[in-house]
Amino acid sequence: MAISLRIQFMNHMVLHRFSHYTIKNYMASVERLAKYHNKPPDLISNDQIQDYLLYLFQECKLSWGTCNVHLAGISCFYKNVLQWDETKFKLPPSPRIKKLPNILSIEEVKRLFECTANLKHRVLLKTVYSAGLRISEVVKLEPRHIESDPSRMMIRIEQGKGKKDRYTVLSKYLLDELRVYWQKYKPGKWIFPGINKENHIGFSAARDAFIKAKKKPV
């Protein structure tokens, strides 16, 4: 992608307050499209874009959800940077497939915690399940988000899904767990810091903690 187009696309997303992860994924989507056709994105036709999307789905065997991320990034670029109108920019809509989440039983959740030897990871998972948080929300928790006054007992989530703030319930059990963890780790700025305590634990590290515990044999 030419530097000028890259800068235009980046500026558009920054000004519209896209998240860091969205910017990263959208930039990668357009760059991979250009690499696939070995030409600048402004020289790629709509038919070539659709050929690329078919390649992702049929050859790469990507899920509809992943293909939809690529589609969203490409759509954002061509509509807002190259100013393609709706009549020219025709991309196949991805089907909306709704799947019910896999709900773990009480016994399965208990086993998940027991299989997590690392205290930080165990308390992180307990926070997710007790407060009903997304991984992207729990990794960004700071001490100020924990409102432990008996009259409140809430966790404040800032800039969650849809960039919305919300509150969720803080149970006494979770508060006790967080206090034990805090006394041992004394994490500082972030409740769940990464290797460098100036940064919070990464999304991938938190997700891997769950996956490893789930796969661990009884």
Q: Is the pLDDT of residue 87 over 80?
A: no
Written as one string, the DSSP assignment of 107-152 is: HHHHHHHHT--SHHHHHHHHHHHHHT--HHHHTT--GGGEE--TTT
Q: Rounded CA gap, 216 and 218, in Å? A: 7
Is residue 23 within 8 Å of residue 5, measured between CB atoms?
Answer: no
Query: Is 3-80 a domain of CATH 1.10.150.130?
Result: yes
> Is the entire prediction scored with pTM above 0.85?
no
Q: Which residues contact 75 (CB under 8 A, 6 or more apart)?
A: 89, 91
pLDDT value at residue 109: 83
Is residue 210 within 8 Å of residue 125, measured between CB atoms?
Answer: yes
Query: Is 106-215 a domain of CATH 1.10.443.10?
Result: yes
pLDDT value at residue 141: 93
Q: Rounded CA gap, 170 and 132, in Å? A: 10
Q: Rounded CA gap, 87 and 93, in Å? A: 14
**Residues 42-73: tens digit of each pLDDT:** 999 888 998 998 898 888 888 877 888 898 89
Which residue from 122, 121, 104 is spatially nearest to 113, judged by alpha carbons? 122
pLDDT cut 90: percent of the chain above it? 43
Q: What is the mean pLDDT of the chain?
A: 86
**Residues 71-83: tens digit of each pLDDT:** 889 999 999 999 8
Domain ranges of the chain: 3-80, 106-215
- Other beta carbons within 10 Å of 33: 24
**Residues 175-201: tens digit of each pLDDT:** 999 999 999 988 889 999 998 888 999
Q: Is the pLDDT of residue 39 over 80?
A: yes
**Residues 121-135: tens digit of each pLDDT:** 999 999 999 998 988
